[in-house]
Amino acid sequence: MRRVALLLLFWLTPAFADEHLVSGLSQDTIEIRANYNGAEITVFGAVERPDTEKPNVIVVVRGQEQDMRVLRKERVAGIWINRSRVLLRAMPSYYFVAGNRPLDRIAARDVRSRYAFGLDAVKPHGLKADDQPEPFREALIARMQRDRLYVQQEDGVEFLSGTLFRVRVPVPSTAPRGTYVADVYLLRDGKVVDTKSSDLVIDQIGVERQLYDFSRSRPLLYGVATVLIAMLLGWASSLMFRRAE
Amino acid sequence: MEIYLPIAGMSVHWLTILGLGAAIGFLSGLLGVGGGFLLTPFLIFLGLPSPVAVATTASHITASSMSGALTQWRKRAIDLKMAAVMTLGGLAGTGSGVWLFGILRRAGQMDVVVSASYVVILGFIGTLMLRESLATLRATRAASAPLSTRTQHVWIHGWPLKARFPASRLYISVLPPLGIGFLVGALSAILGIGGGFMVVPAMIYLLRMPTNVVIGTSLVQIIIVAAATTILQAVNNHAVDAMLALFLVIGGVIGAQLGVRLSSRLSGEQLRLILAVIVLAVAVRLCFGLVVRPDEIYTVTVAP
């Protein structure tokens, strides 16, 4: 028993003695209000007890996973119609990755694919054998990049000193509500040696929240209310313009 | 200033949607169409999710049609009896349209069916209206005498179940308006629109109603269809964005009033010509989209 404990201690000590990470977020919630137009959060941290060499850091922020359907149009009898479709399971609704240097120079190829470092490594789960998903996956990633929901910044992690770093993470207004995870990785010789994780919650508050809840909890009343307000405004405008004449 | 749309889950500049609402409302008041066939594609172009665009368009149509219809009502330019008959047919048509919608969607290719039917219907109606209104305008200019279509009778007028429609000065069978209402209702459910651009030409060319009564009557029918659609969309899809609706509606009712003002200054032939050109333009644009290689071959949606 004592031997086991001793062994365990030997096995664990290097982790404490070696370089490791501390990190945090500038804010752990983003509140969506009436004039919300996206946000920017800062992930910051420090490398404790760094080796002599400059440390390498990769930051990944992910939204909740969702299934995405990608359709491809093909020409049939002169008309472009949706011909083939692929369901890409468990793709992140938001994905941000940044390193202090280009990712392929920080992390080995197998490490990049295991930890999903970089847009090339963001892959769907549970594909069937006969699926040919690659062009569909690329189309999805291109689309998400255009919508600024998938972002890759090769030099986004900025070292303020030998040990202190930060990265600015832009969150567009279209990023869905939910709990996001910000992971910070410390790498050495292409391998991950330490990681820290923090949660980020994006949620609506105030009138927006109440409207959203109302539309879900009492949909019939919500629909009738919308129609009544629309009719009322229509009536008011016809009255107002008659007076103006 | 950007405002956040809680159901759509994104922000848009308020002036953009106010202006869009006003432009579509203007057409609605001017021509007696709901404008859904223009507003929905524009909202999708702005980046709104298509269920939200379709559903919220319905609330905008309710408001601008209400605004226009009330003004027409004061001008006594509504045939309520005709509107009631057509709405009756329309509600039955909407029911069967929703059923057909389900079948088409299960077969896939929903959007191709929608685009292709748009091209055929819009192209047909647009060409018909353009030829007729141009011919009438030329004839009026040449003879400088108003050409009345009111007393002309069409074969379908002689069907059984005749009824008097005093506001339209017609004594015709109720079957044609019922049938038109039914067909338009069914097509509306499939295409996701109010159907005014189909009702107006049908009233003019098939029922031979006077153009000045057509616009108000069509608006009354559209109010009922659009209000029902809004409520159904809110209940079934939770897709009506009240914040988006508010700004669209405020723009829409102002635009609608301006449109109604202008419509009373233009002749029936001129109004028909404008509608014909818009309808044809949309048809050509959609036809283009079907035939020309699209910029984006892939479509990405969140799977439910």
| pLDDT > 60? residue A5 | no
CA–CA separation, A241 and B299 (whole Å): 44
Q: What confidence tens digit (pLDDT) does each residue in B25-35 have?
A: 898 888 877 78
Mean pLDDT for chain A overall: 86
Query: How far apart are alpha carbons A44 and A197 in whole angstroms?
Result: 12
- The answer on pLDDT for A15 being more than 60 is no
Enumerate residues 6+ apart whose C-beta is below 8 A from B141. none
Q: Is the pLDDT of residue B205 over 60?
A: yes
Q: How far is A191 from chain B (nearest CA, A)?
A: 34
| A139-153, B144-158, B232-246: least confidently modelled range | B144-158
Cα distances from B148 to residues B143, B145, B216, B242, B268, in angstroms, run 13, 9, 19, 45, 11
Chain A partners of B235 at a C-beta cutoff of 8 Å?
A: 219-220, 223
Chain B touched by A228 (CB under 8 Å):
no
CB–CB contact B249 A208 (8 Å) = no
Extents of the domains making up chain A: 19-204, 205-245
Predicted confidence (pLDDT) at residue A129 exceeds the cutoff of 70 = no
pLDDT of residue A86: 85
Is pLDDT above 90 for A74?
A: no
Burial class (CB in 10 A: 0-12, 13-18, 19+), A236: middle
- Per the CB < 8 A criterion, the answer to whether B79 and B213 are in contact is yes
Q: What percent of chain A has pLDDT over 90?
A: 49
Residue B152 has pLDDT above 60, yes or no: no
Task: Calculate mean pLDDT across residues B261-274.
Answer: 84
- Inter-residue long-range contacts of A142-148, CB under 8 Å, 24+ positions, other chains counted: A143/B296, A143/B298, A143/B300, A144/A95, A144/B300, A145/A119, A147/A172, A147/A174, A147/B47, A148/A172, A148/A174
pLDDT surpasses 80 at B159: no
Q: Are the C-beta atoms of residues A202 and A171 closer than 8 Å to each other?
A: yes
Q: Which of B66, B78, B237, B301 to mutate to test the interface with A (most CBs of A within 10 A)?
A: B66
Number of other residues whose CB lies within 10 A of the CB of residue A207? 13
- Name which of B182, B226, B201, B197 is nearest B92 in CA terms: B182
Are B298 and A143 an interchain contact pair (Cβ–Cβ within 8 Å)?
yes
State the average pLDDT over residues B179-199: 78
**Residue B240: which of A71, A215, A231 has the nearest Cβ?**
A215
- As to burial, measured by CB atoms within 10 angstroms (0-12 exposed, 13-18 middle, 19+ buried), residue B54 is buried
Whose structure tokens read 């524009």? B42
At A98, give phi and psi (nearest 5°): -150, 150
pLDDT band at A241 (very low <50, low <70, confident <90, very high): confident
Judge: B59–A208 Cβ closer than 8 Å, yes or no. no
Residue A70, pLDDT > 70, answer yes
Q: Answer whether B303 sits within 8 Å of A87, measured CB to CB.
A: yes
Please determine, for residue B149, whether its predicted confidence score (pLDDT) is greater than 50.
Answer: no
Q: In the structure, what pLDDT confidence band is assigned to residue B108 with cuts at 50, 70 and 90?
A: low
Beta-bridge partner residues of B3: B12
What the block records as the tokens of B257 is 């009033």
Q: Which two tokens stand for residue A43?
A: 């992930």
Domain boundaries, chain B: 2-291
According to the per-residue pLDDT averaged within each range, which of A74-88, A134-148, B62-76, B123-137 is highest?
A134-148
pTM, two decimals, is 0.75
Query: Among residues 32-91 of chain A, which lie with CB inside 8 Å of chain B?
Result: 32-38, 66-75, 78-82, 87
Residue among B1, B6, B257 whose CB faces A212 most closely: B6
The domain made up of A19-204 has a fold known as: Immunoglobulin-like (2.60.40)
B257 contacts B74 by C-beta, under 8 angstroms: no
Residue from the list A68, A79, A212 with its beta carbon closest to the beta carbon of B303 = A68
Q: Which residue has the tokens 């303020």?
A: A160
With 70 as the cut, is the pLDDT of residue A131 above it?
A: no
* Per-residue pLDDT tens over the stretch B25-73: 898 888 877 788 788 878 888 888 877 887 888 888 888 889 888 988 8
Return the half-sphere exposure (C-beta side, CA atoms, 13 A cut-off) of residue B61.
Answer: 36
Q: Measured between beta carbons, which residues in chain A are less than 8 angstroms from residue B240?
A: 215, 222-223, 226
Is residue B109 predicted with pLDDT exceeding 70? no
Q: Which pLDDT score, from 0 to 100, does residue A3 have?
A: 57
Are the C-beta atoms of B276 and B130 separated by less than 8 Å?
A: yes
User: How near does any CA of chain A get to the CA of B147, in Å?
Assistant: 31
Chain A partners within 8 Å of B297 (Cβ): 72-74, 139
Instruction: Report the DSSP beta bridge partners of residue A98.
Output: A59, A153
Helix, strand, coil shares, percent, chain B, to 5: 75, 5, 20
The three-class DSSP label of residue B49 is: coil
Beta-carbon separation of B299 and A71 below 8 A: yes
| pLDDT at position A24 over 60 | yes
| pLDDT tens digits for range A197-219 | 999 999 988 888 888 889 989 99
pLDDT at residue number A4:
56
Contact B220, B144 (CB under 8 A): no
Q: Is the pLDDT of residue B145 over 80?
A: no
Instruction: Say if residue B191's pLDDT is above 80.
Output: no
**Residue B205 neighbours by CB distance under 10 Å:** 16
pLDDT at A182 > cutoff 90: yes
- Check if B227 contacts A (Cβ < 8 Å): yes
pLDDT at A44 over 90: yes
CB atoms within 10 A of CB B47: 12
Residue B247 and residue B156: Cα distance in Å, rounded? 43
What confidence category does residue A14 fall into, taking pLDDT thresholds of 50, 70 and 90? very low
Does the CB of B161 have a partner CB in chain A at under 8 Å? no
Whether A227 contacts chain B with CB within 8 A: yes
Q: What are phi and psi of B114, to 5 degrees?
A: -60, -50
Higher pLDDT, A17 or B248: B248
B112 part of contact set with chain A, CB < 8 Å: yes
pLDDT over 60 (residue A121): yes
